Amino acid sequence: MVLRKAKDRLRARSNFSIAEIDYQDLWQRAKLAAVTVGADNAVLERVAQEFVREAENILGDLLIDCKVSFIEP
């Protein structure tokens, strides 16, 4: 329930697709991936930072680790 609410709030506040990618068989742990695309790296960096801040605000102490990666075509 906590995970679904967090995913819904993050989706509502950003233009990211969010999916649970690991630990589906455990109720006390989850791993999420969030993805967005864009043509301008500076804009992508800014929205990624905003997304991380929002995730920290929503999840608080439940958020253990966060990694941001950019893939160049």
pLDDT digits (tens, 9 = 90+) for 3-38: 889 999 999 999 999 999 998 888 889 999 999 999
Closest C-alpha among 57, 69, 60, 71 to residue 14: 57
Residue 45 resides in a domain: yes
State how many domains the chain has.
Answer: 1
Residue 68 resides in a domain: no
Rounded CA-CA distance 26/22 in Å is: 9
Residue 72 resides in a domain: no
Would you place residue 50 in the very low, low, confident or very high pLDDT band (cuts 50, 70, 90)? very high
Closest C-alpha among 28, 7, 27 to residue 19: 7
DSSP conformation class of 25: T
Residue 70 resides in a domain: no
**What's this model's pTM, rounded to 2 decimal places?**
0.85
Residues in the chain, overall count: 73
Residue 33 resides in a domain: yes
Domain that holds residue 27: 2-62
